């Protein structure tokens, strides 16, 4: 048996493959849907609640003639052991390797969301062990529905939305800006977008408060293929931008120190995207991966304005996932 | 984009439409099912548990060739903000308008149960804001699976059951009677039945203890099209009835005062439908929308007797919902 | 209406029927799947979490062209009254007879897992009342997905796995051995295997610590058709075995006394299947019904070895259930 192809990060795919997925997604959006996955089943495993991702995955399979089995960690199964060789006499009655191997006998693919509350150390969370363990033991393709580090299917939907609105992305200016948010989030969306935009030749600015730098290795990787500018001011960051992408993420400086981080974060309420800020752009499109806290992350007038792409981004989850599922599961 | 047609209350539909749905439901019950909704998806959103409504909706879609995505508020998503213009820095990470707009990009219809524990004021609950908010922001049809005020799909199933058993409903006597029940319920089932029966020309009696009047506007509306008699005695209410419909609902007089209401309710244990009561009817059929507390609401001999329509009512949920879904979702 | 055929225990089926299900399951495993259940729906009711059983049932229906409605007791419905004639003024708003009758109007079959924590008395749990109540009131076939006493679909999958690996089972030696496990389990898997293996003419040894005897009536029943040996030593039990089936079950001696039983159980850590033990067999296959606590029930080297059938057993759940569903639901 050859190892299956998994989709953990967009880095797993060559550029030509991403191009072809985007073209196929556009055609699917225009209505070119065939029952290409008749008789196929996709297992959906969520280790926390999901609205958009879950619904769009289920409908994607349905529209292609396939089916889904939904497993949520809280309601449907138990804690899984992850240590190799563990003597399993504690709370965890099953090893992730057995869950993966068995489920892979039933379904044709496994789509898994492993993102969770940060642990004490970034170094460890950054290894993204959970999603890799599933991939290691599954004999069918594993699709990453958001891990600690990556959210590849969101990035694919974002790329499609930008192309629909801007045409070629080469040389276009993307302003990725941190925003206020009472709940810290993992940087998965920002990480995946950063590397995807870089690969498509966009010029990137990243604006964030001091202490909220993105992962330095990933920024370096983006810099290796395009111009990336970092700054501590939203206004500076969005200057002349074609796209303003709003997202909040937790502080790496205070990683694993939620109380310290919350105090710091509380002072940063003015990191909100509003009309004045958007006036500094070049007809800048507003983007956000949702759920969005209105009037905290962005004002109503911007998100509800003509240049907001948020609902297209959300809708594109459906179309890009259909393209991915067809590509990986079709026999 | 034109606004979609929603089904919040049977009042939304002209009489001829209801007639044609009942005819179609009867044909579907006789086996005339075609895959008219192939490729269509229905989102099912429940803000509290459901057995009959959920199962019958899922099977209705399946039998028509469609699919469902099930979202329950407790397990699958989070509290939704409902205030227009809110600064969302509290517990609620998503606005209902965004949830509705996004889900409407994925599915072809949204079926939603918003009924919940009563709030402090009837005046406010009566506005039935939650279901209307979903309808306002959804670009696909919204089906009411029970709100604070209405339960239109139950009423449609009830109408079909009465017609199957009695033929034309014109001039037939419906006795709607309050019963004991340790758990107060919203009057949604009673409200929808009252107006539906009135439109079909049934003569209606409503029996309930003092303080358990139904909404006076709705009773006035029913009176505008048929004879409606209110009384404080079950025995008087069911006299000569063709149908006895048993249902419990909370007291409007003590709305928002659960302790007072419970004390009052505790004294009303003799409001039970039994054989002696049914002997006062004209071969009266027994009806109830289930779940039913046996030997509290109705004695076993009555609900299990030959004139009980309760299982037909329940089964009709399937057939009438298939008729509704076909009518609203077929393209 | 004639009563439907239910599958509560393999005893419900004549031997020729089991044979034919195994043959059909083998063909289904080889790829001979047709949409024989198009338009059919199966209700899945779980009174506790399930991974394998649930996923394999859902995929079984999907692959045959059918659909499933999943109802879990915690999230989707309420406590059901089981007493005949009860005055239902307590916590339970619905009677199991009404839930069964109504669901049977919507779906074509009901697959139900009723196994739960042991009650105070074995005599009562042994009656397996819950699954029988559902069967009594359902007008569509009821499939037992594990009750207090039986797990027929696991036994069917186990029979297929043994036949695939050993050919004819007549005269082959099955060593059923108790193992350590921090969580006591019902003996349902062991009971069903014991009687199934006996019917197929296997010679059986049962090894367990003193006090962990299986149900004496069932052991007597097995003895009536084959050679059954009981012993208090794993090493003795597996001597010359073709198959070692590892399973833990609670002590009947201390039934309903969880503290006493836990103390007793805690001393039995050396009841683990390891390489030394397997060396005593005749190329013995290792079997287990999962979830499996690695290095407590069995060492990694044995379960991951060439003679382990655990993943085939798990996969066979899918194929045997497809055979059963076809047999019972096809019209």
Contact residues, chain C, for A46 at CB < 8 Å: none
Does one domain contain both B86 and B167? no
- The three-state DSSP-derived secondary structure of chain A is CCCCCCECCHHHCCHHHHHHHHHHHHHHHCCCCCCCCCCCEEEEEECCCCCHHHHHHHHHHHHCCCEEEEEECCCCCCCEECCCCCCCCCCCCEEHHHHHHHHHHHCCEEEEECCCCCCCCHHHHCCCHHHHHHHHHCCCCEEECCCCCCCHHHHHHHHHHHHHHHCCCCCCEEEEEECCCCCCCCCHHHHHHHHHHHHCCCEEEEECCCCCCCCHHHHHHHHCCCCEEEECCHHHHHCCCCEEEEECCCCCCCCCCHHHHHHHHHCCCCCCECHHHHCCCCCCEEECCCCCCECCCECHHHHCCCCECHHHHHHHHHHHHHHHHHHHHCC
Using pLDDT thresholds of 50, 70 and 90, give the confidence band for residue A107.
very high
Contact residues, chain A, for C59 at CB < 8 Å: 41, 67, 69, 106-107
The answer to whether residue B188 scores a pLDDT higher than 90 is yes
The answer to whether residue C75 scores a pLDDT higher than 80 is no
Using pLDDT thresholds of 50, 70 and 90, give the confidence band for residue B124.
very high
User: Is B54 at the interface with chain C, CB within 8 A?
Assistant: yes
Using pLDDT thresholds of 50, 70 and 90, give the confidence band for residue B183.
confident
- Which residue does chain C place closest to A71, by CA atoms? C51
Q: State the number of CA atoms in the 13 A half-sphere of A24 facing the CB.
A: 18
Identify whether the C-beta of residue B266 lies closer than 8 Å to the C-beta of residue B251. no
Contact assignment for C318 to A105 by CB distance below 8 Å: yes
User: Is C81 at the interface with chain B, CB within 8 A?
Assistant: yes
- Which residue does chain C place closest to B58, by CA atoms? C69
The ipTM value here is 0.96
Does one domain contain both B238 and B169? yes
Kindly state the average pLDDT of the residues B123-148: 97
Contact assignment for A290 to B102 by CB distance below 8 Å: yes
How many domains does the structure of chain A reveal?
A: 2
Nearest-Cα distance to chain B for A33, in Å, is 10
DSSP state of C302: H
DSSP secondary structure, C178-196, as one string: E---SS---SHHHHHHHHH
pLDDT of residue A77: 61
Nearest-Cα distance to chain A for C295, in Å, is 5
The answer to whether residue A76 scores a pLDDT higher than 70 is no
Identify whether the C-beta of residue C245 lies closer than 8 Å to the C-beta of residue C176. yes
pLDDT tens profile C297-327: 999 999 999 999 999 999 999 999 999 999 9
Nearest-Cα distance to chain B for A1, in Å, is 34
Does one domain contain both A227 and A133? no
pLDDT tens profile A195-233: 999 999 999 999 999 999 999 999 999 999 999 999 999
CA-based nearest residue to B64, from C67, A64, C141: C67
pLDDT tens profile C32-63: 999 999 999 999 998 877 889 999 999 999 99
Does one domain contain both A199 and A86? no
The answer to whether residue C1 scores a pLDDT higher than 60 is no
Does one domain contain both B239 and B303? yes
Contact residues, chain C, for B160 at CB < 8 Å: none
Identify whether the C-beta of residue A187 lies closer than 8 Å to the C-beta of residue A150. no
pLDDT tens profile B247-303: 999 999 999 999 999 999 999 999 999 999 999 999 999 999 999 999 999 999 999
Q: State the number of CA atoms in the 13 A half-sphere of C88 facing the CB.
A: 25
Residue C3 placed within a domain? no
Q: What is the percentage of chain A residues whose pLDDT exceeds 70?
A: 98
What rounded mean pLDDT belongs to chain B? Answer: 95
The answer to whether residue A174 scores a pLDDT higher than 60 is yes
pTM comes to 0.96
Contact residues, chain C, for A76 at CB < 8 Å: 49-51, 54, 72
Which among C43, C87, C98 is the nearest to B291, CB-wise? Answer: C98
Residue B2 placed within a domain? no
The answer to whether residue A91 scores a pLDDT higher than 80 is yes
User: Is A55 at the interface with chain B, CB within 8 A?
Assistant: yes
Contact residues, chain C, for B63 at CB < 8 Å: 39, 41
The answer to whether residue B1 scores a pLDDT higher than 60 is no
Nearest-Cα distance to chain A for B127, in Å, is 25
Kindly state the average pLDDT of the residues A131-151: 97
- Which residue does chain A place closest to C301, by CA atoms? A85
Does one domain contain both A211 and A305? yes
Strand ranges across the sheet with B142-144 = B67-72, B41-46, B109-113, B142-144
What rounded mean pLDDT belongs to chain A? Answer: 95
Return the CATH number at B218: 3.40.50.1370
Kindly state the average pLDDT of the residues B31-42: 95
The answer to whether residue C228 scores a pLDDT higher than 90 is yes
- Which residue does chain A place closest to B66, by CA atoms? A62
pLDDT tens profile B51-61: 899 999 999 99
The answer to whether residue A165 scores a pLDDT higher than 70 is yes
The answer to whether residue C79 scores a pLDDT higher than 90 is no
- Which residue does chain A place closest to C55, by CA atoms? A69
Does one domain contain both A167 and A306? yes
Identify whether the C-beta of residue B148 lies closer than 8 Å to the C-beta of residue B188. yes
Q: Report the residue of B62, B184, B265, B269 to disrupt the C interface, i.e. the one with the largest count of C CBs within 10 Å.
A: B62
Identify whether the C-beta of residue C116 lies closer than 8 Å to the C-beta of residue B91. no
Residue C136 placed within a domain? yes
Identify whether the C-beta of residue C113 lies closer than 8 Å to the C-beta of residue C52. no
Does one domain contain both A112 and A94? yes
pLDDT tens profile C100-131: 999 999 999 999 999 988 999 999 999 999 99
Q: What does the block give as tokens for A88?
A: 């399993």
Which among B59, B74, B183 is the nearest to C93, CB-wise? Answer: B183
pLDDT of residue C284: 98
Using pLDDT thresholds of 50, 70 and 90, give the confidence band for residue A3.
confident
pLDDT of residue A185: 87
- Which residue does chain A place closest to B91, by CA atoms? A182
Identify whether the C-beta of residue A234 lies closer than 8 Å to the C-beta of residue A273. yes
Which among B294, B296, B314 is the nearest to C105, CB-wise? Answer: B314
Q: Which chains lie within 8 Å of chain B at 3 or more CB pairs, if any?
A: A, C
Residue A182 placed within a domain? yes
- Which residue does chain B place closest to A64, by CA atoms? B39
Does one domain contain both B162 and B309? yes
pLDDT of residue C30: 97
Kindly state the average pLDDT of the residues C263-281: 96
- Taking the C-alpha atoms of residue C316 and residue B41, their distance in angstroms, rounded to an integer, is 31
What domain range includes position B25?
10-150+316-329
- Taking the C-alpha atoms of residue C257 and residue C239, their distance in angstroms, rounded to an integer, is 33
DSSP state of B10: G
Q: Which CA distances in Å does C124 have to B229, C18, C48, C116?
A: 52, 29, 20, 13
User: Is C69 at the interface with chain A, CB within 8 A?
Assistant: no
Q: What is the percentage of chain C residues whose pLDDT exceeds 70?
A: 98
User: Is C299 at the interface with chain A, CB within 8 A?
Assistant: no
Buried b (16+ CB within 10 A) or exposed e, A11-26: eebeeeebeebbebbb
Contact residues, chain B, for A300 at CB < 8 Å: 85
Does one domain contain both C269 and C138? no
Contact residues, chain B, for C99 at CB < 8 Å: 51
Contact assignment for A291 to B94 by CB distance below 8 Å: yes
Identify whether the C-beta of residue C214 lies closer than 8 Å to the C-beta of residue C189. no
User: Which of B232-236, C87-91, C216-220 is predicted least confidently?
Assistant: C87-91
Does one domain contain both C136 and C227? no
Q: Write the CB contacts of A52 (distance below 8 Å, at least 6 apart in sequence).
A: A290, A291, A314, A317, B102
- Taking the C-alpha atoms of residue B116 and residue A305, their distance in angstroms, rounded to an integer, is 34
Using pLDDT thresholds of 50, 70 and 90, give the confidence band for residue C76.
low
Q: Report the residue of B291, B300, B315 to disrupt the C interface, i.e. the one with the largest count of C CBs within 10 Å.
A: B291
Kindly state the average pLDDT of the residues C191-214: 98
Does one domain contain both B110 and B53? yes
Contact residues, chain A, for B71 at CB < 8 Å: 51, 54-55
pLDDT of residue C73: 64
Residue C18 placed within a domain? yes
Residue C119 placed within a domain? yes
The answer to whether residue C234 scores a pLDDT higher than 80 is yes
Name the H helices within B30-72: 52-63
pLDDT of residue A111: 98
The neighbour count for residue C26, using CB atoms within 10 Å, is 17
Residue C87 placed within a domain? yes
Contact assignment for B55 to C67 by CB distance below 8 Å: no
pLDDT of residue A50: 83
pLDDT of residue B50: 83
Residue C234 placed within a domain? yes
- Which residue does chain A place closest to C180, by CA atoms? A89
pLDDT of residue B72: 73
Q: Write the CB contacts of B114 (distance below 8 Å, at least 6 apart in sequence).
A: B47, B128, B130, B131, B134, B144, B146, B147, B148
The answer to whether residue C27 scores a pLDDT higher than 60 is yes
Kindly state the average pLDDT of the residues A103-109: 98
Contact assignment for B300 to C78 by CB distance below 8 Å: no
Which among C33, C72, C300 is the nearest to A75, CB-wise? Answer: C72
- Which residue does chain C place closest to A69, by CA atoms? C55
């Amino acid at each position: 048996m050859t190892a299956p192809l998994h989709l953990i990060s967009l880095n797993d795919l060559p550029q030509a493959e991403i191009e072809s997925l985007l073209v196929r997604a556009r055609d699917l959006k225009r209505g070119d849907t065939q029952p290409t996955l008749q008789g196929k089943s996709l297992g959906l495993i969520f280790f926390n609640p999901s609205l958009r991702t879950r619904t769009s995955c289920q409908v994607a399979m349905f529209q292609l003639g396939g089916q889904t089995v939904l497993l949520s960690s809280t309601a449907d199964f138990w804690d899984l052991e992850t240590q190799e060789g563990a003597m399993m006499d504690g709370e965890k009655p099953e090893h992730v390797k057995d869950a993966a191997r068995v489920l892979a006998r039933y379904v044709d693919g496994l789509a898994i969301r492993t993102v969770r509350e940060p642990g004490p150390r970034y170094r460890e969370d950054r290894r993204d062990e959970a999603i890799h363990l599933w991939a290691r033991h599954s004999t069918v393709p594993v699709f990453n529905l958001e891990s600690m580090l990556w959210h590849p299917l969101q990035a694919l939907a974002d790329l499609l939305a930008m192309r629909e609105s801007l045409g070629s992305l080469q040389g276009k200016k993307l302003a990725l800006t941190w925003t206020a948010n009472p709940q810290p989030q993992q940087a998965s969306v920002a990480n995946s977008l950063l590397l995807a935009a870089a690969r498509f030749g966009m010029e990137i600015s990243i604006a964030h408060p001091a202490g909220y730098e993105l992962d330095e290795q990933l920024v370096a990787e983006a810099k290796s293929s395009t111009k990336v500018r970092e700054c501590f001011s939203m206004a500076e960051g969005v200057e002349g931008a074609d796209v303003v992408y709003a997202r909040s993420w937790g502080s790496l400086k205070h990683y694993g120190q939620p109380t310290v981080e919350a105090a710091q974060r509380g002072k940063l309420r003015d990191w909100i995207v509003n009309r004045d800020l958007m006036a500094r752009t070049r007809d800048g499109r507003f983007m956000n991966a949702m759920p969005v806290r209105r009037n905290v992350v962005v004002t109503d007038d911007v998100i509800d304005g003509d240049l907001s792409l948020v609902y297209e981004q959300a809708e594109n989850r459906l179309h890009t996932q259909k393209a991915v599922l067809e590509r990986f599961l079709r026999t």
